[in-house]
Structure 1
Amino acid sequence: MSYIVIKCGGSIVDELPDQFFKSILQLQKNKQVKPVIVHGGGPMISSQLEQMNVSTTFIDGLRVTTNEVLDVVEMVLSGSVNKQIVRKLIEQNAQAVGMSGIDGHLIEAAPVEQANQVGYVGQVKKVNIELIQTIAEQNYIPVISPIAIGLDQQRYNINADTAAAAIAAELKAPLCFISDIQGICHGDSVLSMVNQTQITQLIEQEVIHGGMVPKVKAALTGLASGVPKAVIVNGHESNGLIKFIDGKAVGTRICLKEVSHV
């Protein structure tokens, strides 16, 4: 059975057109590919925290997550954002199931190394891939929010890019990051392909910065762990997912090593 893991960035969830969700259904029906969606929701979390007068800070790109912050993170991700995506899929006559990494111990996590600074932020230790496969085999599309559970039953906030890469690695599935930009931009042009060496240089040059850094790092980790290919695609691009599955050039493809062809 063939899968694709689609990670929807929080910055674009509200803007994704109906055609994007139609493409996901086309993958399932016409391409015999089982879609698995993992989503973020950073901007919505920050907005909700502000409305509730809960302070939030970041250290090295990680949101400092107290139990109070985690309550809001879970409410926004597993509640409003997750169900918004599920509803959009249902509107296209798809069968979708919303869940978090806590459900069925889907994502088990342990604290990140800097947990004393960032609180309940986790790193993925195990993915219950059988649960995803069982759902997908029934022609349901799993829509996953990246809240994980620890061995101590503590909840953990997981970076959505990291969660998507871990799931894709277990499924040996292509990984597609859906963003609000065309890909990795250098000057006025979009890079069609970047490898690990180039990524390191582009991060040092701050060409790759902000939220793009965990995205490319997660992609490289996934590729080293069994993901066959990874790409960053603009969610507004018509049939971008279909082009990716068909092997056509779209967005920025991420590779471990330099290749002579796409």
Structure 2
Amino acid sequence: MNDKPTTDGGALPAYNKDQMAKAHILAEALPYMRRFTGQTFVVKFGGHAMGDEDLGRFFAEDITLMKQVGINPVVVHGGGPQIGKMLERLKIQSSFIDGLRVTDKATVEIVEMVLSGSINKQIVTEINGAGGTAVGISGKDGRLIEARKLRRAARDPDSNIERILDLGFVGEPFRINPEILISLAESSLIPVIAPIGIGTKGETYNINADTAAGHIAAAIGASKLIMMTDVIGVLDEAKQLIPNLTPAEISQLEDDGVISGGMIPKLETCLYAVEHGVDAAHVLNGKIPHALLLEIFTEHGIGTMISEPRAADDDEE
């Protein structure tokens, strides 16, 4: 044990600023730890943070701490960049429509191999190395995610005729069977889920990780859906972070063109979760070290929280 600071003539102990800052952080976090004990949080982990060794370790430490203080974390991960690299290595060409990878039979086999194999087990290993007890599963295990073929339509600008786009084995959830997750929540295990769905005839479907996380959060009655992205959250017209948003405010920002691009589908997932019983959805930058702890256990958080309107003294950020 380190020697404690000594006093000289009754003066206060010479604690350094770093020690005092740590004590302040712990004191600030305690009420949130008490509030969230026994609750389930679904955390979507993806983006560039997954490819950074240090950020992966920080994420694993945050998830482990959440479990140790009585929160039940459920991790859903993506893996688009890793899938792309593997397809390039195998010289399998792929294309995108509306941000979704067109997935033929050869591609879906690679997608499942990368998501359910290397990525899933890497995250499990990191959480176990941080002191947690993680178990890797996919949406096919226990028929956790039952999916159907996702259909998208596009209108020809010349003829104005709408045609159906074939995305191959890209799916969307139509039923979540949460029994396996409920059992894990009652144990010391932390589920880490690869977003692979199973069809009614046993087909394998590639599912967007954001979409899978939102549907899982709604199905298991999670208190929070936390979307870890590559941006700090939702920005206003001046490119400043908006800490709190309601569904009505998001709709207005979309109408005004303030929210656009890749943020729209993420917010649609957040809105789906909130509309189906999740207390709050959060969008935050996963590239910030210990982003989860900063968002959950501090007064103001670091990202954007989406929830239905509530009294000011009930706000969690």
Q: TM-score, normalised by structure 2?
A: 0.76
Determine if contact 2:139/2:195 at 8 Å carries over to the other structure.
yes
For structure 1, list consecutive stretches of 5 or more residues without a partner in the other structure. none
Alpha-carbon distance change, 10 to 81 in structure 1, aligned in 2, over 3 angstroms? farther
Q: Identify the match of residue 81 of structure 1 among 112, 119, 127.
A: 119
**Which residue number corresponds to residue 139 of structure 2?**
101
Letter in 2 for 1:227: V
**Which residue number corresponds to residue 231 of structure 2?**
181
How far is 1:83 from its partner? 1.1
Overall identity of the aligned pairs, in %: 39
Structure 1 window deviating more from structure 2 (165-174 vs 203-212): it is 203-212
**Which residue number corresponds to residue 214 of structure 2?**
165
Give the match's secondary structure for 1:227: coil
Letter in 1 for 2:138: S
Q: Identify the match of residue 126 of structure 1 among 161, 175, 183.
A: 175
**Which residue number corresponds to residue 46 of structure 1?**
84
Matched, 1:22 2:61: yes
How far is 1:234 from its partner? 1.9
Determine if contact 1:11/1:42 at 8 Å carries over to the other structure.
no
Q: Identify the match of residue 111 of structure 1 among 149, 159, 182.
A: 149
How far is 1:243 from its partner? 4.3
Q: TM-score, normalised by structure 1?
A: 0.90
Pairwise CA RMSD of aligned residues?
2.1
Letter in 2 for 1:139: S
How far is 1:121 from its partner? 1.3
How many pairs align? 260
Q: Quote the Cα distance in structure 2 between the aligned partners of 1:88 and 1:5.
A: 18
Residues 103-133 of structure 1: per-residue CA shift (max 9 Å, x gap): 1111111112337521111111111211011
Q: Which has the larger radius of gyration?
A: 2
Q: Quote the Cα distance in structure 2 between the aligned partners of 1:177 and 1:121.
A: 21
How far is 1:242 from its partner? 3.1
**Which residue number corresponds to residue 13 of structure 1?**
50
Q: Identify the match of residue 55 of structure 1 among 93, 99, 113.
A: 93
How far is 1:79 from its partner? 1.2
Determine if contact 2:56/2:126 at 8 Å carries over to the other structure.
no
Q: Quote the Cα distance in structure 2 between the aligned partners of 1:232 and 1:29.
A: 23
Q: Quote the Cα distance in structure 2 between the aligned partners of 1:121 and 1:213.
A: 19
Letter in 2 for 1:141: I
Q: Quote the Cα distance in structure 2 between the aligned partners of 1:207 and 1:56.
A: 31
Q: Quote the Cα distance in structure 1 between the aligned partners of 2:48 and 2:263.
A: 12
Give the match's secondary structure for 1:18: helix
Letter in 2 for 1:226: G
Q: Quote the Cα distance in structure 2 between the aligned partners of 1:86 and 1:48.
A: 20
